[in-house]
Amino acid sequence: MIEAEGVVVKVEGDVAYIQAQRQSSCGGCAKQGESCGTATLIGFFDRKMPLYRARNQLGVKAGDRVVIGVADRMLFKGVLAIYIPPLLLLVTGAISGNQLAATPAAADGYAMLGALIGLVAGYFGSRYYSARMTDGGGYQPVVLNRVVEGNVVNFYGESHKKC
């Protein structure tokens, strides 16, 4: 389970909108007071905190600190579904464009055009598919725990100290 901590911004029915600090996979250097090129680029391009839509099983309210999570296998399946189709369509478009060229001199131009068309089609297809995936149960994050004064209160009401 991949987890993140955040603050509930608003609640609509059984859905909570949580603002969480985006975590980098290379957070080790930031903990040691150093900074690498990747962390610098992330800080430069990504200044806003993301807003996550999560199933509200605990009945949390706006302002509550919570822990949200998503299953590892669902994240992996989602990443494959989002990234693989555009890449396959890009390659297919490039090959098709190359084959459709009237002359060998125009083959590169047709291949670039076919690759661009394939990439754009894959992008819009992935956006459509990802919008439909989040409506299904497993791909949407779930509110796992509520954080109360340094303690984590889980779904069953049990409390333990936060590390």
8-39 pLDDT tens trace = 898 888 888 888 765 555 555 555 555 566 66
The tens digit of pLDDT for each residue in 109-143 reads 999 999 999 999 999 998 888 777 766 556 778 88
Give me the residue label for tokens 């806003």. Answer: 48
- In this prediction the pTM is 0.57
Helices (DSSP H) in the chain: which residue ranges?
A: 28-31, 37-45, 72-100, 107-135
pLDDT digits (tens, 9 = 90+) for 44-66: 555 566 778 888 888 888 888 88
Query: Do 29 and 62 belong to one domain?
Result: yes
Structural domain total, the chain: 2
**Domain interval for residue 7:** 1-69+142-163
